[in-house]
A and B are shown apart, each in its own frame.
Chain A
Amino acid sequence: MWPLIRGTLSGIVGYMVGALIATLTTTSTFSGEFALVLGFVFGLLGWLFGIGMWNAWGREWVGLTPKTEKAEGWRRYLRFNTDHKVIGAQYLVTMLIVFLLAGLVAMAMRAELASPGQNLFTADVYNKVMSMHGILMIAVAVAGILGAFGNYLVPLMIGADDMAFPRINALGYWMVPPVAIALLAAPLVGSFDAGWTAYPPLSVLNGDGQVLFNVAVIAFGLSSILGGLNIVATVITMRAPGMTWSKLPIFVWAAFAASILSLTVTQFFAASLIMILLDRIAGTTWFGAPGGGTALLYEHVFWFYSHPAVYIMVLPGMGVILEIISHFSRKPLFAYKAVVVSFLSIAGIGSVVWAHHMFTSGMAQNLEGPFMALTEAVSIPTGVIFLAAVGTLWRGKLWFQTPLLLAFFWIFQFLIGGITGVFLADFVTDLSLHDTYFVVAHFHYTIVGGSIFALMAGTFYWFPKVTGRMYNEKLGKIFATWFFVFFQLTFIPLFWVGLNGMNRRVATYQDNLGGVNRFASMMAMIMGLSFVLFVVNLLWSAKFGPVAPANPWNARTLEWQVSSPPPEHNFPSPPSVDGGPYDYGVVGAPTHLREVADPVG
């Protein structure tokens, strides 16, 4: 616990120092906007150095020898630990907690929306609640799979003993708690009510909480840039002998493609939020029309990140699902090479379609056609992913465990999400669909369907590896089905209310939509309850579940060839790779992990 306490204390001191500097050097008050910014920056640095960065790293910069603080058991997780497996587990637990929290917030929203008028919240408070839900969930989708499984599995799957930059990895993780705290503390200084997209002019004019939102999200972006950098460098430089690019497990490819995106485009999100801060604090006029600025600029800069961000969310999900489908249908992954090309072209084309979020923004009209065409072009590689999934399942020997069940659900939901996307990408139909619940339903199908379901599937699939124990299969299946069924019952009605003109981000709506909304709210609550089962299953099994063998699924990839949980530097002796990762049922195919003639010695 000591590193945590030390980090908290130096974080608080850092905050005070930053806020004080701001107060003394400018006209800002101690709780004013500039003080919040400097306070957060110094507080973040204080926290990071306190938690262990100083000992493990900073000492080097002043000529001292770094100290590593070792610990055993659960204490390993509460300190600056550079082991990629520890970091992966830290991300998984953190993100699941944030997810459950943001889910509770969603229940509050659905309670408000259960009837047309204003009941639970004022209009203003509703917008704050909605914004909080949005940004927390976006964070989970961006860093859930990539942070948890990207860190835990990429080194294992490529036969490395850690990431390329272990300390940067730990740094990236430990930036996350202050981000969460800043977001959750924003209500103390007026909260933020501009949605997760933070469009100006509102985000330049609203309460001070918006400033905390901005600095927190910029820090989160930095963390995701560092994470992306690490994964890209790791995949390029740390592969074991024999692990050629065409033998990389498909999840590694997916994480690689997503990481290239987070390494690069995330800077645009940072830039757009910095511009808002400058407009608020430094008196610039990027988005202020009176000074000659334009709010349209924000939309361009913001969506240049935030559309590709949906692929940062969903590419790793695709990787997890294809991984699971191949292992559980005991068949080689269908069209491996086409899938790889598709991942990379989704990342590529996905970077030039951003303005499909802006069809009603007043941007130049002659851009609408090209952006529509480019957006629809992404459906081609996306279709290839579906083909690969179905092609692998086709005539496979399906082993219906919870992960495969969730993979089936994933296919269904992502299909609905993708198809409804086409109506949004067509600017003619989007004119009436934009900013309605149709969009809300669309992106819940894509993000919950595409990313969260994969996060759940991966959690079950790798649970034995991470904890060394088996989860309860029956409870797992009940949870998966429950979640899936009530997800449909919640969100299909939302397409319908959207088509009937219900606007998003407003606490009230047309009276005649009350019945359907009440139904959706009830279903949402029941969906939320399914997570009790999820949490109970995982917590109980982690402690009391049957001990897991090294390879309970009989899978070929490297992470299953070491003990559960894996030893400290992953492989007892340097591994090398022989056959492909998915050669199930291929006669005469050598194992993926090269068999050593004399394993002893």
Chain B
Amino acid sequence: MTTSAEPIQHGAGPSRQRRINQLGLWLFFASETFLFGAFISSRFITSQTSTPEDLNQALALALTIVLLLSSISAYLAETANAHDDHRGFRIYTVATITLGALFLGGVALEWKEALEYFPPGTIYGTAFFSLVGLHAFHVLTGLIALAVILFLGKEGRFGSKDSWPVEGVIKYWHFVDLAWVIIYPTLYLF
């Protein structure tokens, strides 16, 4: 999911375009922060800091660790790509995708339990399903984007000469992880 501008500005070099893309991505993060912020603050308004007894804390902690690990592998994939280590890029991207998919699987498991103990019709369930769902949707889009760069980069297309698509996707992945780092305490730790 590149955001490159099509007609390059007069005298624009690749580094200028890269700066523009970077800014665009950060602006997008700023915007997304407001979306997550709306749901996170609504959770506190409707159900304050209450959490039900039946939360599966062990599973949530495991999910958090999985996602944090995926950030590390994503970082390694980005660095490998920047150093033209195409094999490393592929391995770490596959690892990231696997961890991300594991996370989504864990969320599915968690939802199955949650549906019994605190269904969406309860006020905590409302916040829980909305926030986790919103985040899981972002993880899903991140996974798709990772799959795209994995597929496109299979013949070493990116590397140091065209690293932006990889960098952009991985930055997005970090952002989604960071969002979880804030959602996790919001839903589980009070």
Chain A bound to chain B: yes
**Contact indicator per residue, chain A 292-311, by CB within 8 Å of chain B (1) or not (0):** 11100100110010000000
B42 and A237 form a contact (CB under 8 A) = no
B120 and A282 form a contact (CB under 8 A) = yes
Closest to B129 in A: A284
**Contact indicator per residue, chain B 4-39, by CB within 8 Å of chain A (1) or not (0):** 011101110000100110011001101110110111
Q: A233-B20, A271-B39, A283-B121 are in contact. Are A166 and B5 (CB under 8 A)?
A: yes
**Contact indicator per residue, chain B 121-148, by CB within 8 Å of chain A (1) or not (0):** 1110110011000000000000000001
Minimum CB–CB distance from A204 to chain B (whole Å) comes to 13
B34 and A267 form a contact (CB under 8 A) = yes
B7 and A166 form a contact (CB under 8 A) = yes
> By CB atoms of chain A within 10 A, which of B6, B35, B47 has the most?
B6
**Contact indicator per residue, chain A 52-91, by CB within 8 Å of chain B (1) or not (0):** 0000100011110000000000000000001000000000
**B1 contacts the other chain (Cβ, under 8 Å)?**
yes
Residues of A within 8 A of B27 (CB): 229, 232-233, 263
Closest to A265 in B: B34
Would you call the interface of chain B mostly helix, strand, loop, or mixed? Answer: helix
**A291 contacts the other chain (Cβ, under 8 Å)?**
yes
Closest to A285 in B: B126
Minimum CB–CB distance from A215 to chain B (whole Å) comes to 15
**B3 contacts the other chain (Cβ, under 8 Å)?**
yes
**Contact indicator per residue, chain A 418-441, by CB within 8 Å of chain B (1) or not (0):** 000000000000000000000000
> In the bound complex, how far is the Cα of B17 from the Cα of A233, in angstroms?
12
Partner of A286, one of B7, B20, B35, B126: B126
Minimum CB–CB distance from A156 to chain B (whole Å) comes to 13
B6 and A233 form a contact (CB under 8 A) = no
Total of A-B residue pairs, C-beta within 8 Å: 127
Closest to B123 in A: A292
A267 and B123 form a contact (CB under 8 A) = no
Residues of A within 8 A of B121 (CB): 283-285, 291
Partner of A162, one of B5, B123, B126, B152: B5
Partner of A278, one of B24, B45, B130: B130
A164 and B122 form a contact (CB under 8 A) = no
Partner of B126, one of A166, A264, A291, A574: A291
Interface size in chain A (residues, C-beta < 8 A) = 50
**B46 contacts the other chain (Cβ, under 8 Å)?**
yes
Minimum CB–CB distance from B183 to chain A (whole Å) comes to 14
A569 and B38 form a contact (CB under 8 A) = no
Closest to A292 in B: B123
Residues facing A in B139-171 (CB within 8 A) are: 148, 151-152
Closest to B47 in A: A292
Closest to A167 in B: B6
> In the bound complex, how far is the Cα of B38 from the Cα of A75, in angstroms?
42
Residues facing A in B30-70 (CB within 8 A) are: 30-32, 34-35, 37-39, 42, 45-47
Residues facing B in A259-283 (CB within 8 A) are: 263-268, 270-272, 274-275, 278, 282-283
**B98 contacts the other chain (Cβ, under 8 Å)?**
no
A301 and B7 form a contact (CB under 8 A) = no
Minimum CB–CB distance from A48 to chain B (whole Å) comes to 14
A282 and B42 form a contact (CB under 8 A) = no
**A189 contacts the other chain (Cβ, under 8 Å)?**
no
A285 and B6 form a contact (CB under 8 A) = no
19 A-B Cβ contacts within 8 A?
A62-B151, A63-B152, A160-B9, A161-B10, A163-B5, A165-B20, A166-B5, A166-B6, A167-B6, A168-B24, A229-B27, A233-B23, A267-B34, A267-B37, A278-B126, A286-B46, A286-B126, A292-B46, A300-B45
